[in-house]
Structure 1
Amino acid sequence: MRYLALGDSYTFGEGVEPAHRWPVQLAHALRDDGIDIGEPRILAKTGWTTEELAVAIAAEQPLGHFDFVTLGIGVNDQYRGHTANEYRAQLAPLLDTAVALAGGRTERLMMLSIPDWGATRFARQEGRDVTAIAREIDGFNDIARDMCESRRIAFVDITPVSRDDGDSDAMLADDGLHPSGAMYARWVDAALPVAHRLLGDA
């Protein structure tokens, strides 16, 4: 099966080896469980907002339909100070595009929540208002969850996982901001049962 992973630095795996990216770990875990899925095609870049990901998809024009699509986007919208309404307006057409890339099958699309970068050593060292970051990210995630539910798209909440020991050396890449492979493995633990449900008829 063809797998397309859409996102930003978290999907790209900033600061980790390619094998430690969470979509790669997820594909390997699915294969270990007997689901015949290929290595993910990753369309993601550090710093991309929701709008920039949409522009990149239009430019790349991924060929054909994919059997499984994952989406993780929105942290850079929050980081750059975009409003909740701006995020909502950009996410709606992006979700429609992702469904189209999944061949119109909403049951083959899975979205991950935005992790809380305010829980990291980077945020603390920069003197950021971690309470405000958490509040804004929770608001963005509420929007994404509601939009996914209305479209019957699976939504995996990895935000609590990102906050659990999220500032420890073992859970962070060298930059103190992005997750390590070990943290991504925790995300995969949360996403794997949902992916199994979506791909169970494959």
Structure 2
Amino acid sequence: MRILFVLLLVLGFGCASSGEEPTPTAGPAVTPLPAPLGPAIGFLSLGDSYTIGQGAQEADRWSVQLAELAQAQGLNLQPPTIIARTGWTTAELQNAIQEANLPKDFGLVSLLIGVNNQYRGQPLATYRTEFRQLLQTAIHLAAGRPGRVLVLSIPDWGRTPYAQGRNQESIASEIDQFNAVAREESQVAGVAFVDITPATRAAAGDATQFTADGLHYSGQHMAQWAQLALPVVQLLLK
């Protein structure tokens, strides 16, 4: 899918006097978008329901918004190929990637995974092992370049409307532990890490930040993730 930006320049015309040609009035100033630089950059986005943007429109997915922002900055980042499904753990994502038989030359690969490991009560040690393997897979898909891989932290679903009545402190503590592992393993692998968890916690109490199921995030909120990731991507792709 190619996202097209259309700029409309509306010119107003004054009323013509008898025998005179109508004179156009001054139109609004338009700043053209920068032309994308260089060859197209393929983008692979890996994860679970938070990568899909469960309940939100396709155009509102964080990685789709990121590609649009990058295009607006002159980076020729293509709309993402998304490998993700609601409920997937690290192991299930790894299996899906293997079955997809993807090309190994993506210019950017993002990874957002782990909330279902935590939700299902899986051991942290298992997550570390499987996340480490996923990082190597992501690097392989980025033509062996760790500097073209981006990890996003796990959102704190304990602060969502869906989690009302649950032990929010316990959920937050576990999410922090999983994110600490993700950050550590990303650093070891030489992969960029973007912490979106504080933004998800700040969304608590604002219904506009969530989709109808109360568990997933609206396009308005995911725009924050894209904005947080953009400067990192600009450095990775420079």
Of residues 221, 230, 233 in structure 2, which corresponds to 1:192?
Answer: 230
Match of 1:68 in 2: 108
Match of 2:197 in 1: 159
Q: Distance in 2 between matches of 1:167 and 1:97?
A: 37
Alignment of 1:1-202 (within 5 A): 1-124=41-164, 127-200=165-238
Q: Distance in 2 between matches of 1:82 and 1:26?
A: 31
SS in 2 for 1:69: strand
Query: Rg: which structure is higher?
Result: 2
1:63 Cα deviation from its structure 2 partner? 2.2
Q: Distance in 1 between matches of 2:131 and 2:70?
A: 28
SS in 2 for 1:36: strand
Query: Does the CA contact (< 8 Å) of 2:104 and 2:140 recur in 1?
Result: no
Query: Does the CA contact (< 8 Å) of 1:166 and 1:172 recur in 2?
Result: no
Q: Distance in 2 between matches of 1:170 and 1:148?
A: 32
Query: Does the CA contact (< 8 Å) of 2:158 and 2:168 recur in 1?
Result: yes
Q: Distance in 2 between matches of 1:62 and 1:198?
A: 21
Q: Distance in 2 between matches of 1:167 and 1:82?
A: 29
Spell out structure 1 runs of 4+ moving beyond 4 A. Answer: none
1:46 Cα deviation from its structure 2 partner? 0.6
Letter in 1 for 2:96: A
Q: Percent identity?
A: 47
Letter in 1 for 2:139: V
Q: Distance in 1 between matches of 2:54 and 2:42?
A: 23
Q: How high is the TM-score relative to the length of structure 1?
A: 0.96
Q: Distance in 2 between matches of 1:29 and 1:189?
A: 8
Highest RCO, 1 vs 2 (Cα 8 Å, sep ≥ 6)? 1
Letter in 2 for 1:180: S
The count of residues paired between Structure 1 and Structure 2 equals 198
1:67 Cα deviation from its structure 2 partner? 0.5
1:152 Cα deviation from its structure 2 partner? 1.1
1:165 Cα deviation from its structure 2 partner? 2.4
Q: Which structure is higher in helix share?
A: 1
Q: Distance in 1 between matches of 2:203 and 2:53?
A: 19
Q: What's the C-alpha RMSD, in Å, of the aligned pairs? A: 0.8
Query: Does the CA contact (< 8 Å) of 2:104 and 2:142 recur in 1?
Result: no
List gaps (5 residues or longer) in structure 2.
1-40
Q: Distance in 2 between matches of 1:64 and 1:139?
A: 31
Letter in 2 for 1:93: Q
Query: Does the CA contact (< 8 Å) of 1:2 and 1:66 recur in 2?
Result: yes
Q: How high is the TM-score relative to the length of structure 2?
A: 0.82
